Structure 1
Amino acid sequence: MSSSRMITANGIDFFVREEGQGPLVVLCHGWPELSYSWRHQIPAIAAAGFHVVAPDMRGFGQSASPSDVSAYSIFDTVGDVVGLVQALGETKAMVVGHDWGAPVAWHAALFRPDIFTAVAGLSVPPPLRGRGRPLDLLRQNGITNFYWQYFQTPGVAEAELERDVARTMRTVLGGRGLADPDGAMFVQEGKGFLGHATNTEPLPAWLSESDLAYFTEIYRKSGFRGGLNWYRNLDRNWELTAPWQDAQIHQPSLFIAGSKDAVVTGLIGSKLVNKLELVLPNLTRKLIIEGAGHWVQQEQPDEVNSALVKFLKEASGQ
C-alpha cells in the first residue's frame, strides 16, 4: 500500500505519496491535478521493483504554495524534483511527467543528466524552444483568446474556478475540456474558461464520483492560484532556457499521449509530436493510445502502466 508524508525539499514542504523499494521513480502531475492523478501508476510501478514517489507539485494540493508569481519558473519546479531526490537520500532517479509535469520532467533530464537517467513525458511533447516568447507569438498570430492568455491576469481565472469548485473539477476533468479542441482551449468572450460546459453529461467511466470528490475537497482548501502561476511563467521560462536552445535530451526517453488529446492534436502540440526525435535522439517509443483524451494515465491505466514499467525496467537494466 502506498503511504503519504511531508518532505522538505528546495526550501518548501511537499506532500508526497510513495510506495515500493528499488530505483527511484518520481511522478510529476499536471494542472489542475494532484499526486492522486497517479493512483493507478504508483502500485503498478512499485510492484515492478521501484521506489515510486509522487508529490503534489509546488502550488498544488497539500504542498506549499509560495505567494510570489516568480516562484513558479521552470528553474523552481525542476529544482523541486532535484531537491526531492536529494531529500530521499538518492543521487539518481528516473522522472515521469504528465501535462505541466511533462515539461518539468523533460527539463529535469535536460538540466541534470547526472541525476535523471531516463525520462518519460505524457501528453506534452518535449521542449523545442521557439523563436520567441510563447505569449508574444500567440498575439503575433492574431490569437487573443487562448486559455494561456486568459490565465495570465492574477485573480481572474481564480475567481471563476473557485466560484464552484465541484463544477470546475467536473468540467475540467470529466467534461470534454482538453479532449475537445473547440472547447476549453479557447475562451469565448464573457464566458470564461468553463463557458462551454453544460454539466449535464455523466462522468466518464475512468472518473468516479469519489475521485471527483477528492479533487474537489483538496482544491477547495488550496484554491487555484498556485497552479495558475505556472502559466504566468510561460514567457519567463522561454527567457530562462535560452542557454539550452536546440539542446537534446540524450537519456532513454518515452512519449505517451491520447489520440483525442487536444494538446497533441491542436495548435502547438501536433507539430511537436512529429519532431520528437529532434529533441529525443534516444526515444524508445512514441505511444499514441487510440481513443484516449488528455488525462491519459487515468483513462487508460493498464496500457500506460505496461508501457511505463517496460520502459523503466529497460532503462534501469532490470
Structure 2
Amino acid sequence: MANGFGPNRPRRVVYRAVMSVPREGRIDLETVSLSTLEWGPRGGPLALCLHGYPDTAWTWRHLGPALGERGWRVIAPFTRGYAPSSIPSDGSYHIGALMDDAVGIHTAVDADDSAVLIGHDWGSVTSNGLAAHRDSPFGRVVSMAVPPAPAFVPRRSPSELLAVPRLLATQLPRSWYMLFNQLPRVPERSLDRLIPHLWRRWSPGYDAGEDLEHVAAALKSTASRTAALGYYRAALRPFPRPPARYRHWQSALLQAPTVPMLYLHGDDDGCMTPRYADRVQAALPAGSRVARIPRAGHFLHLEQPETVNRLVLDFVGEG
C-alpha cells in the first residue's frame, strides 16, 4: 500500500472497524495550540487520549468512538509539535511539558475528577507520570506499551538483581533509535525511511498504511520533525532544564502510580519487550489491572481493537 512514508507490506489481515467521523477542535494553552479529534457528547466526562511516536491522534480512531458511545467526551490531541498542532512557543518537549498540556486540557474543558487519561507510547509515559503525581486531576489511567518506571527497577531480592540486567540486555537492542535520534539533523532527514521501518519492526504484520499517511501529514515540515524528535532529545539530555512548572510535574516520573491503572502490552511488541509487563502489577495500587494482548505488537490498540476496547471499557465504565 502506498503512503507518505513509502511502501508497507502487511503479512496478516487485521480487524478494521467501522468508525464514526470525529469532530475537529482546537484548544489553546499558554505555550501551545493543540488540534484535537473528538468523539462523544460534549457534556460527558473527559476521556483524554494521548498518542505516541511516530503516531498521531488518529491512532484513537477505534477506541474513541467506542468510548463516545458509552457517554465519554473523548479528546485526542495532536501533541505539541505534531501538525496541525503548533510548535510550542517555549520550545520544550520535556515530559513535564506533556504532562502540563494534559492538565491544561483538563482545565480548559472544565473537567472534574471523574476524568480518565489514556496514553500510548509517549502518551503512556505522560500518563504514568500523572498517575503518580499528587496534583493530577485524573481519577483513573490507562497506559499502553510503556510501563511505569518502577517496573524497570530491581526489587530487593537476589533473583531480581539477576533478572533486571537480563531484561536490560534484551531491551537495549530495541532502543537503538533513541540514541540515533540524538544526532543533529540526520534523523530529521531519515524519517521517510525510519518511520515505516519502526512500524514494521514494532508491530510485525500490521498494515500501517493508513497510519503512515497520517504521520506523514503531521511531520511534513522540518519544524514538526524536530519537535517529534525533541521528545527523545529532552528526555536524554541534561540541558536545557525544563521550566519550573514542568519540573513540578516531572518530579513524579520515577514514582509508582497512586490511582487505579489499567496497563496493556502487546505480546509481539518489537519496541518494548513484553517481559516488562510481567513486572507492572507489583507497582500498581488496588483496583488496577494488567493484561498482555495476544497477536498484537506495539500498536496493540490498532492491531486488536476489539480486545483493547473491551478491556478499556470494562475498566473505565460508563461516562
Is this a same-fold pair by TM over 0.5? yes
Aligned to 1:60: 82
Residue 213 in 1 paired to residue 213 in 2? yes
- Equivalent-residue separation in structure 1 for 2:254 and 2:224 (angstroms): 37
Of 87, 99, 104, which residue of structure 2 is paired with 1:78?
A: 99
The answer on whether the counterparts of 1:169 and 1:216 sit within 8 Å (CA) in structure 2 is no
Of 189, 202, 210, which residue of structure 2 is paired with 1:178?
A: 202
Aligned to 1:118: 140
CA positional deviation for 1:145: 8.0
Corresponding residue SS for 1:262: coil
| Structure with larger RCO (C-alpha < 8 A, sep 6+) | 2
- Equivalent-residue separation in structure 2 for 1:284 and 1:145 (angstroms): 28
Identity of aligned residues (%): 28
- Equivalent-residue separation in structure 1 for 2:219 and 2:255 (angstroms): 37
Aligned residues: 272
Corresponding residue SS for 1:116: coil
The answer on whether the counterparts of 2:81 and 2:224 sit within 8 Å (CA) in structure 1 is no
Of 300, 305, 316, which residue of structure 1 is paired with 2:304?
A: 300
Corresponding residue SS for 1:310: helix
The answer on whether the counterparts of 2:55 and 2:211 sit within 8 Å (CA) in structure 1 is no
Residues 144, 258 of structure 1: alpha-carbon distance in 2 compared, 3 angstrom cutoff: closer
CA positional deviation for 1:80: 0.3
Residue 276 in 1 paired to residue 267 in 2? no
Residue 15 in 1 paired to residue 39 in 2? no
Aligned to 1:192: none
Any idea what the Cα deviations from partners look like across 1:87-143, whole Å, max 9, x if unmatched?
A: 112233210100111010111222255501001111110122769xxxxxx9xx998
Q: Which runs of 5+ in 2 are unaligned?
A: 1-20, 155-167, 242-246
Matched letter for residue 4 of structure 1:
E
- Equivalent-residue separation in structure 2 for 1:121 and 1:179 (angstroms): 17
Aligned to 1:88: 109
Q: How does 1:93-112 map to 2 (within 5 A)?
A: 93-112=115-134
Q: How does 1:1-318 map to 2 (within 5 A)?
A: 1-21=21-41, 22-66=44-88, 71-92=92-113, 93-128=115-150, 146-161=176-191, 165=192, 167-173=193-199, 175=200, 177-179=201-203, 204-205=206-207, 207=208, 209-221=209-221, 223-235=224-236, 243-244=251-252, 247-265=255-273, 270=275, 272-282=276-286, 284-313=288-317
- Equivalent-residue separation in structure 1 for 2:314 and 2:174 (angstroms): 42
CA positional deviation for 1:51: 0.6
Residues 249, 13 of structure 1: alpha-carbon distance in 2 compared, 3 angstrom cutoff: same
Aligned to 1:189: none
Any idea what the Cα deviations from partners look like across 1:170-218, whole Å, max 9, x if unmatched?
A: 3333x2x2247xxxxxxxxxxxxxxxxxxxxxx735x3x4444333233
**RMSD of aligned alpha carbons:** 3.1
The answer on whether the counterparts of 1:119 and 1:254 sit within 8 Å (CA) in structure 2 is yes
Any idea what the Cα deviations from partners look like across 1:149-190, whole Å, max 9, x if unmatched?
A: 1111231211111xxx3x5543333x2x2247xxxxxxxxxx
CA positional deviation for 1:42: 0.8
Matched letter for residue 279 of structure 1:
A
TM-score by structure 2 length?
0.75
- Equivalent-residue separation in structure 2 for 1:178 and 1:110 (angstroms): 27
Matched letter for residue 309 of structure 1:
L
- Equivalent-residue separation in structure 1 for 2:256 and 2:116 (angstroms): 17
Matched letter for residue 291 of structure 1:
R
The answer on whether the counterparts of 1:73 and 1:236 sit within 8 Å (CA) in structure 2 is no
Matched letter for residue 220 of structure 1:
K
Residues 119, 242 of structure 1: alpha-carbon distance in 2 compared, 3 angstrom cutoff: closer
